[in-house]
Amino acid sequence: MNTIEILRALVAFDTTSHRSNLDLIHWIADYLAGHGVKVQLVHSDDKRKANLLASIGPDIAGGMVLSGHSDVVPVTDQNWTSSPFALAERNGRFHGRGAADMKGFIAASLSAVPAWRRQRLRRPIHLAFSYDEEIGCLGVPQLVEQLKAQVPAPALAIIGEPTEMRVGVRHRGFFGHRAIFTGLPAHSSDPSLGASAIEPAAYLVTRLAGLRRRLADQGGEATINIGRIDGGTAINIVPGCCEVLWEFRPKDEATAELVRSTVREALADLPAGVTVEASQVAGVPALSARDNDAAVSVARELGALWPEAELPFGTEAGFFQQVGISTVVCGPGSIAQAHQPDEWIAASQLQAADRFMQSAGAWALAKPAARLTSTLKTA
């Protein structure tokens, strides 16, 4: 099967994050097994979803990881010209949910498997596909742990998010938080009989908004967003509950700690009768430009475009970098098309991805270079 045929099959699976991805994962597993590739699956706790890890070539260190996520965002309330789960070609563009983000990359890597299998690779190529990236990168921590346990240390990882085949070397992290304030309801004719949950929630929002403005004045490299506030019952009832959902995207750990310390201060002195339950609901580490020379060098060798890019969106790349794998982001399609109605990927981008995968095979055929072998961190 060629890349377009595989992409058509992948798009046909509705892998919106609230649904199971197992039908797609089992299809990929069967496809790989048909080409003699051993596949490992690691399921989510509820068994409704799974990561997939497969390796082509020798069982040695120094290989290349090609990674992508299997889930897509919803199509609800979007006006599509054609079915979002049936790949449609129009004017050199292939339309379908996930075509750009990021089933095009997965399709190109799967299409190259038969050629890689026919060759006597001297370095392995590992395929690593995750679940639930779109709702907080929930599957990839398991996938990385599986990689550490089952695969000799790879030299590099390429995360195939849509960059129009440019090399993405850095992006900010993403951390989502929830704060639930609980007070004491009472009749508003005498507020002293109750304890408002909304007032301390509003104080937290005010502190975060002030910090957001400070960060914006410093260049906007880190952001804060208050995404949702829900509290109270009626105008004449002291509110007994209020929930705040918010997120921040730091450029580095120092900025992340500044945000966290601001929140700690805001929650340190609650009014009498009010409690708060604060928790992190999503965490995606930043991708740093440090320690990724090996991945940058190989990506350029494979045909990735230059100059390097700082990406405006988050990816799973930081999880691989955290365990000591040199990592970059590079894949076909444009992020401008992601999450949009009539999402599309250009035929020329799929062709570029095919050439990239052919070059990956040539890289794996070459004699390993000692300098490209990294060691996975154990903690």
User: Taking Cα atoms as reference points, which of 56, 63, 70, 54 lies closest to residue 17?
Assistant: 70
Cα atoms found within 13 Å of the Cα of residue 359, Cβ hemisphere only: 13
Q: Cβ(137)–Cβ(244) under 8 Å?
A: no
Q: Is 71 a catalytic residue?
A: yes
- Asked if 287 contacts 137 with a C-beta cutoff of 8 angstroms, the reply is no
Residue type, 256: A
Whether 230 sits among the annotated catalytic residues: the reply is no
In the sheet that holds 93-95, the strands lie side by side as 88-90, 93-95, 344-346
Structure tokens at 267: 């929650």
Could you say which of 133, 199, 308, 342 is catalytic?
A: 133
Residue 75 CA: distances (Å) to CA of 24, 96, 124, 145, 344: 18, 10, 37, 32, 14
Choose the catalytic residue: 71, 134, 308, 354.
Answer: 71
Question: Which residue type occupies 313?
Answer: F
Whole-number Å distance between alpha carbons of 157 and 130: 14
Instruction: Identify which of 252, 245, 258 has the alpha carbon closest to the alpha carbon of residue 172.
Output: 252
- Residue count of the chain: 379
Tell me the sheet residues that pair with 377.
none
CA distances from 201 to 46, 113, 242, 331 (A): 33, 53, 7, 41
Helix (H) or strand (E) holding 347: helix 347-365
Give the separation between CA 247 and CA 281, rounded to whole angstroms: 9
Q: Which residues pair with 212 in a beta bridge?
A: none
Give the strand order in the sheet containing 166-171: 39-43, 50-56, 125-130, 64-69, 156-159, 326-329, 166-171, 305-311
Catalytic residue IDs: 71, 133
